[in-house]
Structure formats: structure tokens, C-alpha cells
A = this chain, B = another copy of it.
Amino acid sequence: MSEAQQTRERILRAATDVFAQHGLSGGRVKLVARVAKSNERMIYYYFRSKEGLFIAVLENVYRQMWEAENALELDRSPPLDAIRAMVDFTLDHYLTHPEMLTILNNENLHRGRYVSKSKKMKRLSSPALDLMSKIYDRGVEEGVFRSGLDPLQIYLSILALNYFYVSNRYTLSAYLGLDLAGEQLKLWRRWVAEMVVRAVKAN
């Protein structure tokens, strides 16, 4: 990778961290420059504006999710195992990419304004959703899943249960007076899998 590309990369990574920690309006261009060990001018050179930088970060976050989903190989696993693997994968991805959550929350705050400004992101389609459809169909075929369900809803449920837990752990901890990390996390992982499985299993 050329030096120039390295600079660009460093800025992008720094921006991901900064926006993840402070949000879009709270994230300072100056801080990005400092974290990236570059200078502000370079940010404008490579990304045109703060908004441009944010969109690049957004694209990167989505792309990483997309690539990770794409790497999933569950075509031949038994349907129930595949479902459990999906749960694990989702939770792990959120835990290892915490920046994703806050950056997506920011997008929600702005009602998806920046996603729609990106040319790259027009309908990436979700590999995981496609996968879930296949798994579900196979499960029904094999008689382990009950028919008539919507794979989208199953998929969204997995996202929801994990997203909420990881995203809200700080306020929930404060509100409920519990520590949601550690042992609780393991229990939650098992509980989510169980919920989803019970939701789809035949009889």
C-alpha cells in the first residue's frame, strides 16, 4: 500500500473511532487529525468535508458487516445449528465492532440521511438475510421448522436482541443496577438462541 493510501487509511480508522465515541456532530475534525497523526488539511484533501468523511466511515462499517456476513458458510449445516451460528455471529460482530452500533444509531438519528447520500451503498443487499432465507427454506423442507414464517422477521429478531443488549448495556446497567457484561452476557447469548429456536421449530 502506498504511503498516500496509508494516510487515507489512518484517517479513516481514526474517524471511525472518533465518530463512534462522539457522534457526528460531537466528533471534531481536529481530533480525527490528531488521532490519525496527520493534519486537518489532509482530511479535506481526501474526503472533501466532514460529511464526506462520515459517509466514508459509514460505507466502511457497512462493507465490513457485508464482508463478514459473506464469509459465513452455513449452507450445509443442519438448520437449527445454522440458526444458532447466526446468533453467535451477530453478537460477536457487535461485540468486536462496537463502533458500528453508535455509528448506525447516528444514522438513525438523522433518519438515514447519509446512507442515502452514498453512491456505494445503494442497495448492497444483505448476505445474511439471503442466507437466513435459505436456511429457513431448508428447515421447512426438512420438517424441523414450521412453515409460514417470514425469514426477514427471524433475521431482524436476531439483530434486535443482540443489538439492544450490546448497544444499551451502559444505560441498562445504570438503570437496572446490574452488570450486563461478564456472566450475564453468556446467559443472554444462550437465551437469544433459545428464543429464536423456539420461535421457528416445528410444533
Contacts and interface: CB of A to CB of B under 8 A. Distances in A.
Interface of A: 21-26, 62, 101-102, 104-109, 111-112, 115-116, 123-124, 126, 129, 150, 152-153, 156-157, 159-161, 163-165, 167-178, 187-188, 191, 194-196, 198-199
Contacts of A123: 177
Contacts of A159: 164
Nearest to A167: B108
A159 B161 CA distance: 9
B170 A108 contact: yes
Contacts of A22: 25, 109
Q: A-B pairs with the 8 shortest C-beta distances?
A: A160-B164, A25-B26, A112-B170, A111-B170, A112-B174, A105-B105, A25-B25, A195-B199
Contacts of A167: 105, 108
Contacts of A171: 104, 107-108, 112, 115
Contacts of A62: 175
A107 B172 CA distance: 10
Given A102-B108, A105-B109, A198-B199, A115 B161 contact: no
A157 B153 contact: no
Nearest to A166: B108
A156 B164 contact: yes
Given A159-B164, A160-B163, A115 B174 contact: yes
Interface centre among A24, A112, A160 (most CB of B within 10 A): A160
A201 to B, nearest CB: 9
Given A156-B188, A157-B195, A195-B198, 6 more contacts: A23-B25, A112-B173, A152-B176, A157-B161, A194-B199, A195-B196
